[in-house]
């Protein structure tokens, strides 16, 4: 994708990064990932969103010394966005996470979805929303700037019933908060579950792993998985386990725990936490990620009932990042606000059903600060 971080934005550089422009969002030339929109306010965060996959490609935020760095993992080459980096920063759907066997029943009719190797449907199927070109509309005011992205998903897309019109809005405000708002309507009963799949390294993209990061998740329960990472059905209390993140814990300390659930996921987290309070009308805090060296702190607020935490256990250096450094294991952590995996097949999980005349709405706020 040809993005090279400005040396002045490097935390080790001689001074703070140049301030982002206060002008409306700017569209940069397509380098293989669609239109590239850059927006932000002076002295605050600056975002870059690509229309391929409605993808958050970069986010520059300051550390405790005022030095800016890009904290979002992303591929250097556009070709990798069509391959091993397909989900990096993308809007995933029509159904984020896993659906067992790729089968759903809607109003008694069984629908077979397209599946990936392993026989399940992940993040909407092999040609999900992460590989679509979205239509972009920028907006700008005195206090808010960003982009609306639109996508039409026809009836039968990847096997899902109903034609779906989707809008995702990225908004930066003058406090540096990034809000992701989702809206969808369908002309027939269907299921919808959307999220953003950014990987975070709050020390800066390409700067080693996140094992020194501290993570807190406001959840008393999680959903254990089977050997294929499909929820087994129960809500298990997090107490006396590495999944107890009700107080901040260093990832290096919890991921070395000899818990069979960590082993199933390949040596880390790839699990859904059941957020306390369930789905809410207004965003409330769900998780906090903190990087001690830079002092950067990310609070995740959401209306969603769950959050999937994936600690990059499967990264093997296949993806080369924007920094030119390969991403090894634990190079970033994904905090995916969403409904639970396989909810269409679990009557006791929060419903993901969307009917004509109703609207799917979801909001997640990413709030950055420093200590």
Active site amino acids: 197, 336
Positive or negative: CA dihedral 216, 218, 224, 227: negative
What is the distance between the alpha carbons of residues 17 and 20, in angstroms, rounded to a whole number? Answer: 9
CA distance 51 to 33: 7
Q: Contact 271/309 with Cβ under 8 angstroms?
A: yes
Cis peptide bond N-terminal to 8, omega within 30: no
* Helix, strand, coil share of the chain (percent; to 5): 10, 40, 55
Dihedral pair phi/psi, residue 80, rounded to 5°? -70, -20
Query: DSSP labels for 144-175?
Result: EEEEEEEEEE-TTGGG--S-EEEEEEEEEETT
Contact 134, 168 (CB under 8 A): yes
Question: How many CB atoms are closer than 10 A to CB 97?
Answer: 27
- Rounded CA-CA distance 87/98 in Å is 14
The encoded tokens of residue 152 equal: 């039409």
């Amino acid at each position: 994708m040809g993005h090279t971080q400005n040396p002045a934005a490097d935390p080790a550089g001689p001074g703070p990064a140049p301030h982002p422009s206060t002008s409306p969002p700017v569209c940069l030339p397509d380098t293989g990932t669609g239109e590239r929109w850059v927006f932000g306010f002076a002295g605050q965060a600056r975002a870059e969103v690509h229309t391929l996959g409605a993808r958050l490609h970069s986010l520059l935020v300051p550390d405790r010394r005022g030095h800016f760095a890009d904290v979002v993992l992303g591929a250097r080459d556009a070709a990798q966005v069509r391959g091993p980096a397909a989900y990096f920063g993308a809007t995933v759907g029509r159904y984020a996470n896993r659906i067992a066997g790729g089968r759903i029943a809607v109003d008694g009719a069984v629908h077979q979805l397209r599946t990936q190797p392993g026989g399940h449907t992940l993040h909407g199927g092999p040609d999900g929303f992460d590989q679509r070109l979205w239509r972009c509309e920028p907006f700008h005011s005195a206090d808010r700037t960003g982009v609306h992205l639109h996508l039409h998903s026809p009836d039968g897309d990847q096997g899902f019933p109903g034609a779906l019109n989707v809008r995702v809005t990225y908004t930066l405000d003058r406090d540096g908060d990034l809000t992701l708002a989702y809206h969808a309507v369908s002309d027939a009963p269907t299921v919808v579950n959307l999220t953003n799949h950014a990987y975070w390294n709050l020390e800066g993209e390409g700067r080693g792993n996140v094992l020194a990061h501290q993570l807190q998740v406001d959840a008393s329960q999680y959903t254990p998985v089977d050997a294929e990472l499909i929820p087994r059905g129960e809500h298990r209390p997090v107490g006396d386990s590495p999944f107890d993140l009700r107080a901040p814990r260093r990832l290096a300390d919890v991921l070395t725990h000899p818990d069979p659930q960590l082993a199933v996921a390949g040596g880390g987290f790839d699990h859904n936490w059941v957020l306390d309070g369930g789905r809410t009308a207004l965003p409330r805090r769900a998780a906090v990620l903190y990087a001690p060296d830079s002092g950067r702190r990310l609070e995740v607020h959401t209306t969603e009932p769950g959050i999937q935490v994936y600690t990059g256990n499967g990264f093997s250096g296949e993806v080369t990042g924007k920094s030119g450094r390969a991403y090894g294991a634990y190079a970033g952590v994904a905090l995916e606000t969403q409904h639970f995996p396989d909810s269409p097949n679990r009557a006791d999980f929060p419903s993901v059903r969307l009917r004509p005349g109703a609207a799917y709405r979801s909001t997640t706020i990413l709030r950055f600060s420093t200590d």
